[in-house]
């Protein structure tokens, strides 16, 4: 074979390797996040709105959202498992991505078999719990793979694209899922959307992390030298390394900032379908249309400019501005109750909130990755996300509790405290000191 032919074969192989192809990286991770967004759109948004439409109480709906949010807090238990065990010849995280996506497909499809779901909230919660579990499983593996193969200079933009596609997937799932629920029922709606989730598994099946690795355990290939060097081989090493980096000041304040952000996230996401359907008299279709339009706009802007703004202005400064605007927006909503009957006001609130929520999320992801020690990046990054998702469950629970104690005006005002606390914690992050400490760990 001539040198020219060898070069062509090598180039063709590299085109299907995530570490070698920036375009493939962006598209693959965007596709995997889209795969998370479809089930999320149904269980976190379409079903709560459907329950509100059918006169379920705020406490029942908030309980459902809180229960399905709990598995996302298990991510910190899953991540060390992924850092310790893998089929290294297939890549450090790719085997886990395939497993997580397969579990997500099967658990999501199983929701279509829940009998009489409207009057069987326990059954709905159990299936929703497993959908969230495998969604969290796939998320941990995908984030770990992204940290491994996406260069630091690309991470902010990659996060913008990933989170933007997840929001678009969530929005389209809510819009289409609501229409299908109203037309064909919940079981058929879930079964049809499961087909789209199933196609996403083709991404990790056909693309390698690094050149020379196996596509499947029975195919040819071997572990890359890079994967061998970064793979931890015992539990003591993993937990000792994690403890070192967790005790760094910037890691600790980032954990608290993500927790407070998660409370705001879960609180508002649970509030909106109940508030718009039961307080303002919207139908679940009207809510899904408004939510989908506003979040798709936020997702597209996040994909196009969210990461770029962080690269240009810096993580801390930009996120602080985003949190400040969100804080003022939520406070304003609690102070203008006389205008709530104006649909344009509510539409504007949802639009602006989800725009800045998207930008904040991209910033939180990028900042978290920047604080990670590559040796245990998947576990450390997952620790940040675990506290965010724990906050999400707490926020959903708080909404159900506070709504029983006070009017909607005060319900809005209470949640404005959360972004304020996040701003305070973020001000103590020091990237330079974090980097110096991690470099010292590596020398030791």
d(CA 249, CA 108): 39
Q: Is residue 3 in some structural domain? A: no
Q: Is residue 244 in some structural domain? A: yes
pLDDT of residue 84: 75
Query: What global pTM score does this model have?
Result: 0.72
Q: Is residue 245 in some structural domain? A: yes
pLDDT of residue 232: 65
Q: Is residue 1 in some structural domain? A: no
Tens of pLDDT along the chain (444 residues)? 544 444 444 444 445 777 777 778 788 888 888 888 888 888 888 888 888 888 788 888 888 888 888 887 777 777 777 777 777 777 778 888 888 889 888 988 888 888 888 888 888 889 889 998 888 888 888 887 887 777 767 766 777 777 778 888 888 888 888 888 888 888 888 888 888 888 888 888 888 877 877 777 777 877 777 666 666 667 777 778 888 888 889 899 999 999 999 999 888 888 888 888 888 888 878 888 887 887 777 667 766 665 566 666 666 778 888 889 999 999 998 888 888 888 888 888 988 888 888 888 888 887 888 888 877 776 788 888 888 888 888 888 888 788 778 888 888 888 888 989 999 998 888 888 888 888 887 776
Say which CATH number the domain at 35 has: 1.20.1250.20
Q: Domain containing 71: what range? A: 8-443
**What does the buried/exposed string (b/e) look like for 11-50 if buried means 16 or more CB atoms within 10 Å of the residue's CB?**
eeeeeebbbbbeebbbbbbbbbbbbbbbbbbbbbbbbbbb
Q: Is residue 216 in some structural domain? A: yes
pLDDT of residue 299: 66
pLDDT of residue 421: 92
Domain count along the chain: 1
d(CA 399, CA 270): 7
Q: Kindly tell me the sign of the dihedral angle through the C-alpha atoms of 280, 286, 289, 292.
A: positive
Q: Is residue 2 in some structural domain? A: no
192 CB neighbour count, 10 Å cutoff:
14
């Amino acid at each position: 074979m001539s040198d020219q032919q060898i070069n062509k074969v090598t180039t063709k192989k590299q085109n299907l390797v995530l570490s070698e192809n920036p375009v493939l990286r962006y598209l693959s991770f965007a596709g995997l996040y889209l795969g998370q967004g479809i089930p999320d759109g149904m269980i976190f948004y379409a079903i709560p709105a459907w329950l509100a439409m059918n006169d379920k109480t705020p406490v029942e709906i908030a309980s459902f959202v809180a229960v399905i949010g709990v598995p996302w807090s298990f991510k910190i238990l899953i991540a060390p498992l992924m850092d310790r065990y893998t089929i290294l010849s297939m890549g450090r995280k790719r085997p886990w991505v395939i497993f997580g996506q397969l579990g997500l497909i099967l658990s999501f499809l199983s929701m279509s078999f829940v009998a009489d779901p409207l009057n069987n909230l326990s059954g709905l919660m159990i299936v929703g719990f497993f959908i969230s579990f495998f969604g969290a499983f796939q998320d941990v593996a995908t984030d770990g793979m992204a940290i491994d193969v996406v260069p630091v200079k690309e991470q902010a933009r990659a996060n913008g694209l990933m989170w933007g596609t997840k929001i678009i997937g969530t929005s389209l799932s809510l819009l289409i899922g609501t229409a299908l629920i109203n037309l064909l029922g919940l079981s058929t709606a879930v079964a049809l959307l499961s087909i789209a989730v199933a196609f996403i598994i083709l991404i990790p099946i056909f693309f390698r992390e690094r050149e020379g690795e196996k596509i499947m355990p029975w195919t040819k290939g071997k572990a890359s030298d890079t994967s061998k060097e970064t793979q931890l081989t015992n539990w003591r090493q993993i937990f000792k390394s994690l403890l070192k980096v967790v005790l760094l000041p910037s890691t600790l304040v980032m954990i608290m900032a993500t927790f407070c952000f998660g409370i705001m996230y879960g609180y508002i996401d649970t509030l909106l379908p109940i508030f718009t359907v039961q307080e303002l008299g919207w139908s679940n279709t009207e809510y899904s249309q408004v939510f989908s339009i506003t979040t798709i706009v936020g997702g597209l802007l996040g994909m196009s400019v969210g990461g770029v703004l962080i690269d240009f202005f810096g993580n801390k400064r930009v996120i602080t501005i985003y949190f400040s605007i969100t804080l003022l927006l939520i406070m304003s909503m609690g102070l203008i109750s006389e205008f709530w009957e104006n649909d344009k006001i509510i539409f504007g609130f949802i639009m602006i909130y989800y725009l800045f929520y998207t930008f904040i999320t991209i910033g939180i992801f990028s900042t978290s990755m920047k604080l990670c020690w590559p040796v245990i990046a998947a576990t450390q990054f997952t620790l940040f996300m675990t506290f965010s998702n724990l906050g999400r469950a707490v926020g959903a629970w708080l909404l159900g509790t506070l709504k029983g104690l006070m009017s909607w005006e005060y319900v809005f005002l209470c949640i404005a405290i959360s972004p304020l606390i996040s701003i305070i914690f973020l001000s103590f992050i020091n990237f330079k000191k974090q980097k110096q400490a991690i470099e010292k760990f590596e020398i030791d």
